[in-house]
Chains A and B, each alone.
Chain A
Amino acid sequence: MTEDEHREGIKGMANPGRYGIERIAYLLMRLTGLGLLGYFIAHVYETSNILRGRMGWDDFLAMTQTTEGHIFLALVIGMCVFHTGNGIRIMLGHGGVGVGNPARPDYPYQPASQNYRQKIGIYSSIVLAAVAMMYGMAVMFGE
């Protein structure tokens, strides 16, 4: 960041505190997208262990049978559910669906694109992710 541009930089981009739940969803979408990408790469590596035969496969899979492994997988479940739910909201939004209609603006100028449908989309993605994580943990730890 150069001082002449006076850009806020990554810190400003990732600061979720100032612009409501929509900006938090933006940040979560980024983080979960990158998290899933990381998981995907790790997953390809993990499943390649099949080439080491049954022993190698079982050896590696044992890692997911630990407490840390369960928590990690629960996080992946949560990231997956939030990313998908919020992703559907964003894809519709990007097409102009559910972002309100133009109208003569009136004070105090509530932006129609930041409407309750968008908020319901965000909050329900978060709640669904939490429920899925709890269900996953119940299954994994209940074994």
Chain B
Amino acid sequence: MAQVSSIADEQASTPLSSPKSIVLRISKFNPKLDESSKFMEFTVPYQKWTTVLEAILDVKKHFDHSVAVRYSCRQATCGSCGMMINGKPKLACFTKISELDSDVVTVEPMNNFPVIRDLTVGFEKLFEKHQKIQPYLIRDDSELESDEREFLQSPQEVEQYIQFANCIKCGLCNSACPTMATDSSFVGPQALAQAYRYVADSRDKGKDTRLNIIDESHGIWRCHFAGSCSQVCPKGVDPAMGIQFLRGYLLGFRS
């Protein structure tokens, strides 16, 4: 099934004058039809600024429209385009070919997520676990008193959680996590980081509720602080930090 092609006379999104090209290896797999995944190979020209997503879309446009890939924003905001790029989970729209420093770029579906087709994976479990930690402000007086206009916060209070609020639910962290690799029931770094995002919010009163939710056998105790989640996060969320702070509450290091 492997096929070697190159963008010859057709018009590519990347100018053909580009002197540089890479071999893009795309994992093809349809769980409904195929026994195992296969790689298709394409020679794709690129410029300094060409992203992996653009290269995949070039392939779709000129060679094989059937390549399944999910994307939307193309600017690391929607969290749709996570995939394994040369073996590591990355956003395809946020990864330039030139920074990979390799003549061959291999793209595969993200690990630890069920494959829908080719590069597209299912996020049901990710969202389920995200919802499980109650990702919203919890407080009794959800209605404002008549003379108030908002729940005020100081810049310092905002600083406590704003980095965790950067999460775009791309799932890269869950894909890199060594616990997730063997335990798909593990709540995972994405959801745990979001639990901390709300616990650290001065407007929130749901700390005990959330600590109870994550204090279970497939909960926070399965984190071994390997830190891989934080190393792959494209938004600087640093889930490992949030998780250790949460555990600090449970262990009595913090109050």
Contact = CB atoms under 8 A, between A and B. Distances in A.
Given A102-B159, A109-B235, A96 B245 contact: yes
Interface string B220-255: 000011111011111111101100110110010110
Interface stretch (B54-62, B106-114, B127-135): B106-114
Contacts of B109: 6
B166 interface: yes
Given A7-B181, A23-B178, A94-B251, A105 B240 contact: no
Contacts of B44: none
A111 B244 contact: no
A64 to B, nearest CB: 33
A128 B235 CA distance: 36
A121 B160 CA distance: 26
B46 interface: no
Contact of A7 (B164, B182, B251): B182
Interface stretch (A11-19, A52-60, A129-137): A11-19
Interface string B156-184: 00011111101000000000101111101
B226 A7 contact: no
What DSSP secondary structure best describes chain B's contact surface? loop
Interface size class of A (residues with CB under 8 A): 35 or more
Contacts of A102: 159-164, 200, 241
Contacts of B161: 102
A51 B94 CA distance: 67
Given A96-B244, A111-B241, A106 B181 contact: no
14 contacts: A6-B111, A7-B112, A8-B182, A10-B182, A12-B181, A13-B182, A18-B176, A20-B231, A22-B227, A90-B224, A94-B247, A96-B253, A106-B236, A114-B231
5 A-B pairs with least C-beta separation? A105-B236, A96-B248, A109-B236, A95-B253, A111-B230
